[in-house]
Each structure stands twice: as structure tokens, then as C-alpha cells.
Amino acid sequence: MNTTNSPPSLQWVKSSYSTDNGGACVEWAPAHASAIGIVPVRDSKNPTGPTLMVSTHAFAGLVTLAKSAEL
């Protein structure tokens, strides 16, 4: 796992679990994940802040956890 500042060239997609009313807003860059095998994840409310870089396997675990959590 690694955290970095967000590379500006990534195409970010907001999670379907995120809301526009200030809720938990998570974005990821699927094209980068497909090409490199590393999934960048960031807080959409802080696009110039740190980016979490995780393996595709770890990202799948995060998605599974999010789907099973009570929101």
C-alpha cells in the first residue's frame, strides 16, 4: 500500500456509494487500474490530497467490505 499526491492525468470515477450532499465521497481511477494493476483511490472532497494506491486484490476486498457494511 502506498499513498501519494494524485497524479493529474488520471480519469477519476466517483463511487456509486458516494453522494453529492457531502457524504463519504470516494473516487478511483479504473483505466489506471486496468493498465497497471494498481488502483488509485482518493477522497473526492480533497482532489489534491493524498491518493491511496492498492493492489486490485486489496481494492476488491475494500469493495466487498463497503457492500457488506451497514450505512
Grid cell for residue 39: 488502483
Q: What angle do CA 55, 63, 70 make, to 5 degrees?
A: 150
Rounded CA-CA distance 60/5 in Å is 22
Average pLDDT for 1-17: 70
Tens of pLDDT along 27-61?
Answer: 999 999 889 999 999 988 888 899 999 999 999 99
What are the residue ranges spanned by the domains of the chain? 2-68
pTM beyond 0.75, yes or no: no
Q: For residue 68, which phi and psi values (nearest 5 degrees)?
A: -90, -15
pLDDT at 69: 78
Tell me how many helices (H) and strands (E) the chain has.
Answer: 2, 5
Closest CA to 4 of 36, 70, 50: 50
Grid cell for residue 14: 466517483
